Amino acid sequence: MAVLSYERGITIDPGFIPDNWQKSENGRPIFEVEGGIVFMHERKKKTGELRFCNKEMKFKPDRAHYCSAMRRNVLRMDHYCPWLANCVGYHNHKFFFLFLFYTLIATGTLDVGVIRALHCCMHSAGHTFMMGQGAVISTLLTVLLGPFFGFHCWLMKHNMTTIEYCEKRRDNDESRMSHYDIGVHRNIQCVLGDNWMLWLLPISGPSGDG
């Protein structure tokens, strides 16, 4: 499950801004002119203007940010993950989360298995040394991944991204509330999908287009 989640996190596009979010002749997004669609939330600058990306030359919906590694904006961008060689965004956030979850289970299980094997059975010095090395590596991964996974559980509970958390820290905003917090259950659905029976399966993501 960890490998499948990892593969999905790498291969699935995190989400991009459509071309009809470019600026029209009247200075508004093309989709507003053609389809009459409006922003559900208008995250404006201090000047009152809509967010606009001068690098991609498109208006930016809420929670979208420009990724310099991918050279485009990513919908509900959380962060760029070098281990995935991909951004974590709207469409692949679930698979990044499940990758952490199942990797943590795997390393924890390996720890327990190796410790029991060393304690209960007699092994040659070479065998014991190799198992000991494996235990050290898996323990190190467990110790590192545990707090990181817990942090992402907290973010998901509050419907917050890593970028939004860092923005709050930068602005000295002591409030833990997110502007997008709609309750724990719905917050989880925003990342793992509407069907709770599929939450722990790397086969579907959240509904909607981000």
CA 133, 134, 135, 139: dihedral to nearest 10 degrees? 110
Q: Is 53 a catalytic residue?
A: no
Distance CA 27, CA 157 (A): 37
Distance CA 196, CA 96 (A): 17
| DSSP letter assigned to residue 198 | G
Where is 35: in which H helix or E strand?
A: helix 30-35
Q: Could you say which of 81, 87, 120, 190 is catalytic?
A: 81
The count of residues in the chain is 210
Distance CA 44, CA 17 (A): 17
Catalytic residue numbers, as ranges: 81
